[in-house]
């Protein structure tokens, strides 16, 4: 009898731990606001849906905002704060957009739940819903919530991987955030939607590593196509799709991986994913598989748990996402 009870106890404990593993990331958990602000996800979905109908490019913009906020100093909405030397002023963040959508969501949420939902969680929820919309409703991952907003935002603290880095250098930066190589390959798959400015690839098109020649790893036909969109002596900085499959460049799918597998990657780091020994097999597996959206969602959840603020003395719940509260009542 004692053995049976012990076995049952172990089984119950195992199931409890399994359940915990599926629902929680440290201080975060799915349904964090279920009693505090039960309608928050519906509010986010409504505002995001309206924004997407007006301009579907808000999806890649929000993915980028989420990545830039989380990767630099943790998911604390410090990127949203205004200020002369705030994170917004750092060079990699000057073209980040989506702030107005977050403002609209925050205003709607505050009317129903005063100083309950963090701006950091609003970013995470909005990004999740936009990924779903960009996939045509084919995916909608569960995103744990319970983040606090940061009180400090400094351009000097911004630390993001450059698109000109090697795979090993980029992987090292991800590892510093406890993100795996798989997370890195999947998160860069966010480039299946969105655009880049010509200035990021002019060297690949015209003078790769000071050779006066294009990057030999880029399909010559793509070089010619992109040169038409990014003329050498242009006075304007044009934009180009990161996924060069024109039928799929605005859809969350595996097309990006298929393109880089045939040397049609736009950014240097994107193309290297397909050729570097560290990542080439992963790229092929994703390109030829049918689980990218599920795996991408999991990587986004992992990104959302980077360097969280765990103590209320270091974080707060802002009323306005653009300014810190600086008030004990905010925490």
219 is in an annotated binding site: no
Contact present, 257 and 283 (Cβ < 8 Å): yes
Q: Which two tokens stand for residue 319?
A: 């009323």
Whole-number Cα distances in Å, 125 to 28, 102, 189, 235, 312 = 13, 10, 19, 39, 21
d(CA 99, CA 62): 9
87 is in an annotated binding site: yes
Please name the helix (run of DSSP H) or strand (run of DSSP E) that holds residue 29, with its range, or none: strand 28-29
Burial code (b: 16+ CB inside 10 Å, e: under 16) for 119-156 equals: bbbbbbbbbbbbbbbbbeeebebebbbbbbbbbebbbe
191 is in an annotated binding site: yes
d(CA 309, CA 73): 10
Please name the helix (run of DSSP H) or strand (run of DSSP E) that holds residue 281, with its range, or none: helix 280-287
Q: Spell out the alpha helix ranges (H) of 91-156.
A: 99-112, 119-134
Active site residue 22: no
55 is in an annotated binding site: no
314 is in an annotated binding site: no
- The active-site residue out of 22, 68, 197, 268 is 68
150 is in an annotated binding site: no
Q: For the chain, what is the radius of gyration of the CA atoms? A: 21
Contact present, 125 and 86 (Cβ < 8 Å): no
Q: Is 119 helix (H, G, I), strand (E, B) or coil?
A: helix
78 is in an annotated binding site: yes
203 is in an annotated binding site: no
- Known binding residues for substrate are 161
- Binding-site positions read 69, 74, 76, 78, 87, 161, 191-192, 243, 253
- Residues annotated within a binding site for heme b: 191
Residues flagged as binding site for Ca(2+): 69, 74, 76, 78, 87, 192, 243, 253
Catalytic residues: 68
């Amino acid at each position: 009898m004692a053995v049976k009870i012990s076995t049952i106890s172990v089984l119950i404990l195992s199931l409890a731990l399994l359940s915990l593993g599926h629902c929680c990331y440290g201080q975060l958990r799915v349904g964090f606001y279920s009693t505090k602000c039960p309608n928050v996800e519906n509010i986010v979905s409504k505002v995001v849906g309206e924004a997407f109908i007006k301009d579907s490019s808000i999806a890649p913009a929000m993915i980028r905002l989420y990545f830039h906020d989380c990767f630099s100093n943790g998911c604390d909405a410090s990127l949203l704060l205004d200020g002369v030397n705030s994170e917004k002023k750092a060079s990699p963040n000057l073209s980040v957009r989506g702030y107005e959508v977050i403002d609209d969501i925050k205003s709607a949420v505050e009317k129903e739940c005063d100083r309950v939902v963090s701006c950091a969680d609003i970013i995470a929820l909005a990004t999740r819903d936009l990924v779903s919309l960009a996939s045509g409703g084919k995916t909608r991952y569960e995103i744990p919530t319970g983040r606090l907003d940061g009180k400090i935002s400094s351009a000097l603290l911004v630390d993001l991987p450059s698109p000109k880095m090697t795979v090993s250098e980029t992987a090292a930066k991800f590892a510093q955030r406890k993100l795996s190589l798989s997370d890195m390959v999947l998160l860069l798959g966010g480039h299946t939607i969105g655009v880049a400015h010509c200035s990021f690839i002019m060297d690949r098109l015209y003078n790769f590593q000071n050779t006066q020649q294009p990057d030999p790893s880029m399909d010559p036909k793509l070089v010619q196509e992109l040169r038409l969109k990014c003329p050498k002596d242009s006075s304007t900085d044009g934009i180009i799709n990161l996924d060069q499959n024109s039928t799929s460049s605005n859809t969350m799918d595996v097309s990006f991986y298929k393109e880089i597998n045939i040397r049609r990657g736009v950014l240097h780091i994107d193309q290297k994913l397909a050729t570097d020994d560290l990542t080439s097999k992963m790229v092929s597996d994703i390109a030829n598989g049918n689980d990218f959206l599920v795996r991408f969602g999991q990587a986004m959840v992992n990104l959302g748990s980077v360097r969280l603020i765990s103590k209320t003395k270091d974080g707060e719940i802002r009323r306005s996402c653009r300014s810190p509260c600086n008030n004990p009542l905010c925490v």
